Amino acid sequence: MGFLDSILGRSKPKEADLDALFAVPSAVISLQARLGLVPTGDGAVCYRAAAGPAFADTQSGVVDLLAAAENAPEVRVTTDGFGFTWLEVDHPPYDPDEGDLGALCTDLHAVNTTLEDAGFGPALLCSLVPLADSSGRRLGLVYLYKQGTFYPFAPVVGEQQARDNLLEIQVRDALAGELPVEQDLSRWLAIWGAPGL
């Protein structure tokens, strides 16, 4: 940050640390042991799609890249009611005893880095790893691209736009030291209708 920026109160935004996604598998082990939450096997990256052939080519390129992998996941591109695009990566259901979340995290990392390397980093919003427990509670572990931090989002099943705040706080506490957790609760945005939740 330059002298003039410090005088004018401007700061550079924090850069995303996409490698933090690779810490998710070990964090999930903590969530499974403490709260009974296991990944569903699915994940998604949310972004604002740009107009034009350059973005369309980049998006189709990343879909082709994921589809070409050995044991390729199912990949879908959808648009939600708010106009945001979700690139969904669906792996087989996670096996709590023998499961490996590494492939999903690698896929989410590949989507983010491909869009970032093509110059579309500012369009990236978040990545999502859905989890659930045996009672049916759902939770999204959300990675905020622009902040480089994670937060939990737990919609209440069967209720319209209600959150399980207690579960979110329990997850935050369980993840302390495992992942960079977003401390500003105003950034714990509700992502109603997100894939897998």
> What pLDDT, on a 0 to 100 scale, did the predictor assign at position 154?
97
Of the candidates 23, 38, 40, which has an alpha carbon nearest to the alpha carbon of residue 105?
23
What pLDDT does residue 4 have?
53
What are the structural domain ranges in the chain? 13-187
**pLDDT string in tens for the chain (197-residue length):** 555 555 655 555 556 678 899 999 999 999 999 999 999 999 999 999 998 999 999 999 999 999 888 888 999 999 998 899 999 999 888 777 777 788 999 999 999 999 999 999 999 999 999 999 999 999 999 999 999 999 999 999 877 789 999 999 999 999 999 999 999 999 999 999 899 89
What's residue 7's pLDDT? 61
DSSP symbols for 72-119: PPEEEEEE-TTS-EEEEEEPSPP-TTT---HHHHHHHHHHHHHHIIII
- The radius of gyration computed from the CA coordinates of the chain, to the nearest angstrom, equals 17
